[in-house]
Structure 1
């Protein structure tokens, strides 16, 4: 049996922030590691009954991908954008 996870997508600063609420357990590691404090707690609850995270709380996202790297459940995916607002393929 396979599952389809739906993402909540937000364009914010230099990145496109994809959050998969069904995977987020609300550990808060991404909030701790974000160097510009753009990630904060959302009002909605995730699949585990804990608050999920969302961007847009501090400065705009700089697309450093630290949140993506520390997320133990792969609930965050960041796409970098170039200065004109387009996706930058092949960069990690």
Structure 2
């Protein structure tokens, strides 16, 4: 029989912030592929001293140049990056049902 107990895990992470938003790196999920560094339009992501889950260097942003565009989060093959823009409101859902 399998063990159905849930395990709570504290994910090692660091959140960086500027006037445009926040950039969170989850080191335990970063495999050090470098796609975010390669695709960053402002070239503000670099290798950090923290290690990812494969023992490779994880990443860190230089927030003074980060435009919080989310490209890094989009290209990351793991959910290792979370970008949250400040003041961004959710897009309202429009009801396009005929007759309304």
Q: Take 1:13 and 1:55, find their aligned partners in 2: how far apart are those partners?
A: 14
Q: TM-score, normalised by structure 1?
A: 0.80
Q: TM-score, normalised by structure 2?
A: 0.74
Q: How does 1:26-45 map to 2 (within 5 A)?
A: 26-45=32-51
Segments of 4+ moved more than 4 angstroms: none
Query: Gaps spanning 5+ residues in structure 1: where?
Result: 83-87
Query: Gaps spanning 5+ residues in structure 2: where?
Result: 1-5, 92-100
* Equivalent pairs, count: 85
TM-align CA RMSD: 1.9
Q: Is the 8 A contact 1:25 1:48 kept in 2?
A: yes
Q: Is the 8 A contact 2:27 2:50 kept in 1?
A: no
Q: Is the 8 A contact 1:30 1:68 kept in 2?
A: yes
